[in-house]
């Protein structure tokens, strides 16, 4: 179009450019390299599908492992979590069930989820940067369709493109990050995108004003890159030991107060005695009741607008406790975000 003599570039205003992009007459910047293979591949066993016009959540599988260890069975994780969530949503949608947690009858309510499939991965040709760009474009598309992104990985490197897309779509976004580790290590020279140990650093490098609360940290964190200290630091922390102590709810409520909240979860926030199937277990973590209490405060104080969950490991051929707890956490979060 730019080479057409009859078209004067200065006449294409930002508003006109945005309109053409919405009509798919122009590709959004940075996604032209995905046109040959697309962004997403449909799952063979999708979550119960919903009409895009009524779907509240948009599911994206992101089985991204930058440095997988042989015993993690990483290829099984996203399909296993998808199956667990589908069973739970099917039960909720088709039966009259009793919820012992709330002591209420669920009735025929349904949390509408549209399964967009899994990020296209081409190991011989992909780079970490190309996968990250593809995930950013996919999440942006889900947001533009009016859905809340629900992204399941994979390692926590997925947090960078997911939260970057969320920050672009929500001006006052804040992040609640549940994790045993700060994931705030320095960015090595020549690294082109985030890894699971520094995705927070990448997010803050792009958006220094992004307010961030990390909950559940513990143990010794090597090579932590804290940009500032004290009141000027955009990241606040609640250690696992502090959750349950006096005043922790006030910290979470003040952080989320009246704002859109993206929830980012590494399942190793749970204690390994409860959820052992994780990549980097750390003792003295949270229990499921504490995580649910955190989500309750988040939902009551702000508006949940998205979720990414990562780092479930191990085979799905037996009872995987981390996977079962992850499915429960996903369901509880998207139910709160739908209310």
Separation between Cα atoms, residue 224 and residue 56, nearest integer Å: 37
List, in sequence order, every beta strand (DSSP E) within the chain.
40-41, 57-62, 98-99, 104-105, 113-119, 148-153, 174-178, 211-217, 235-239, 260-266, 303-310
CB 135 within 8 A of CB 151: yes
> Average pLDDT of 137-151?
95
Q: Give residue 104's pLDDT.
A: 77
User: Would you place residue 28 in the very low, low, confident or very high pLDDT band (cuts 50, 70, 90)?
Assistant: low
CB 152 within 8 A of CB 330: yes
User: Would you place residue 1 in the very low, low, confident or very high pLDDT band (cuts 50, 70, 90)?
Assistant: very low
User: Would you place residue 90 in the very low, low, confident or very high pLDDT band (cuts 50, 70, 90)?
Assistant: confident
Q: Give residue 102's pLDDT.
A: 74
Separation between Cα atoms, residue 322 and residue 84, nearest integer Å: 12
Query: Taking 80 as the threshold, does the pLDDT of residue 188 lie above it?
Result: yes
Separation between Cα atoms, residue 106 and residue 177, nearest integer Å: 29
Q: Name the pTM for this structure.
A: 0.86
Separation between Cα atoms, residue 71 and residue 20, nearest integer Å: 47
Query: Taking 70 as the threshold, does the pLDDT of residue 110 lie above it?
Result: no
**293 Ramachandran zone, left/alpha/beta (phi>0; psi -120 to 50):** alpha
Query: Taking 80 as the threshold, does the pLDDT of residue 78 lie above it?
Result: yes
Q: Give residue 2's pLDDT.
A: 47
Query: Taking 90 as the threshold, does the pLDDT of residue 66 lie above it?
Result: no
Q: Give residue 37's pLDDT.
A: 61
Between residues 44 and 68, which one has the greater pLDDT?
44
Query: Taking 60 as the threshold, does the pLDDT of residue 4 lie above it?
Result: no
* Torsion angles phi and psi, residue 155, rounded to 5: -90, 175
Separation between Cα atoms, residue 62 and residue 74, nearest integer Å: 11
Burial 297-328 (b: 16+ CB within 10 A, else e): bbbebbbbbbbbbbbbbbebeeebbbbbbbbb
Q: Give residue 20's pLDDT.
A: 66
Q: Give residue 308's pLDDT.
A: 98
- % residues pLDDT > 70 (the chain): 82
> Average pLDDT of 121-137?
90
CB 105 within 8 A of CB 93: no
CB 84 within 8 A of CB 28: no
Query: Taking 80 as the threshold, does the pLDDT of residue 255 lie above it?
Result: yes
Query: Taking 70 as the threshold, does the pLDDT of residue 237 lie above it?
Result: yes
Instruction: Give the CA-trace dihedral at 81, 215, 180, 230, to 10 degrees.
Output: 150
> Average pLDDT of 304-313?
96
> Average pLDDT of 283-308?
97
Pull the structure tokens for residue 172.
């006052």
Bond before 29 cis per omega within 30 degrees: no
Query: Taking 70 as the threshold, does the pLDDT of residue 36 lie above it?
Result: no
Residues whose CB is less than 8 angstroms from the CB of residue 336 and which lie 6 or more positions away in sequence, other chains included: 295, 296, 298, 299, 304
Neighbour order of strands in the sheet with 113-119: 40-41, 113-119, 57-62, 148-153, 303-310, 260-266, 174-178, 211-217, 235-239
Residues whose CB is less than 8 angstroms from the CB of residue 237 and which lie 6 or more positions away in sequence, other chains included: 182, 213, 214, 215, 217
List, in sequence order, every beta strand (DSSP E) within 218-329.
235-239, 260-266, 303-310
CB 178 within 8 A of CB 291: yes
Separation between Cα atoms, residue 312 and residue 54, nearest integer Å: 30
Pull the structure tokens for residue 130.
């190309």
What 3-state class would DSSP assign to 211? strand
């Amino acid at each position: 179009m730019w080479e057409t003599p009859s078209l004067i570039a200065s006449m294409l205003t930002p508003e006109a450019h945005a309109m053409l992009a919405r009509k798919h007459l122009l590709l959004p910047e940075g996604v032209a390299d995905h046109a040959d293979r697309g962004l997403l591949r449909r799952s063979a066993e999708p979550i119960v599908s919903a009409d895009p016009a009524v779907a509240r959540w948009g599911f994206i599988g992101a089985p991204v492992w930058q440095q997988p260890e042989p015993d993690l069975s990483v290829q099984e994780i996203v399909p296993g979590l998808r199956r667990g969530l589908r069973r739970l949503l099917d039960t909720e949608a088709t039966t009259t069930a009793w919820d012992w947690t709330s002591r209420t009858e669920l009735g025929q309510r349904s949390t509408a989820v549209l399964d967009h499939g899994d990020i296209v991965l081409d190991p011989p040709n992909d780079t970490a940067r190309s996968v990250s760009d593809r995930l950013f474009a996919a999440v942006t598309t889900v947001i533009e369709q009016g859905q809340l992104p629900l992204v399941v990985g994979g390692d926590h490197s997925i947090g960078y493109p997911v939260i970057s897309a969320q920050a672009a779509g929500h001006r006052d976004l804040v992040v609640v990050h549940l994790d045993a580790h700060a994931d705030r290590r320095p960015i090595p020279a020549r690294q082109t995108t985030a890894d699971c140990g520094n995705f927070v650093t990448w997010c803050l490098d792009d958006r220094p004003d992004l307010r961030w609360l990390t909950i559940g940290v513990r143990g010794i964190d090597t090579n932590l890159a804290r940009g500032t200290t004290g009141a000027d630091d955009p990241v606040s922390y609640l250690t696992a030991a502090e959750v349950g102590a006096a005043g922790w709810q006030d910290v979470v409520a003040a952080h989320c107060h009246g704002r859109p909240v993206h929830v980012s979860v590494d399942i190793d926030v749970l204690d390994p005695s409860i959820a052992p199937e994780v990549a980097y277990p750390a003792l003295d973590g949270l229990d499921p009741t504490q995580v649910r209490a955190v989500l309750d405060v988040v939902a009551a104080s702000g508006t949940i607008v998205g979720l990414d969950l990562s780092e479930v490991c191990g085979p799905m051929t037996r009872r995987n406790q981390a996977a079962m707890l992850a499915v429960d956490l996903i369901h509880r979060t998207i139910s709160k975000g739908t209310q």
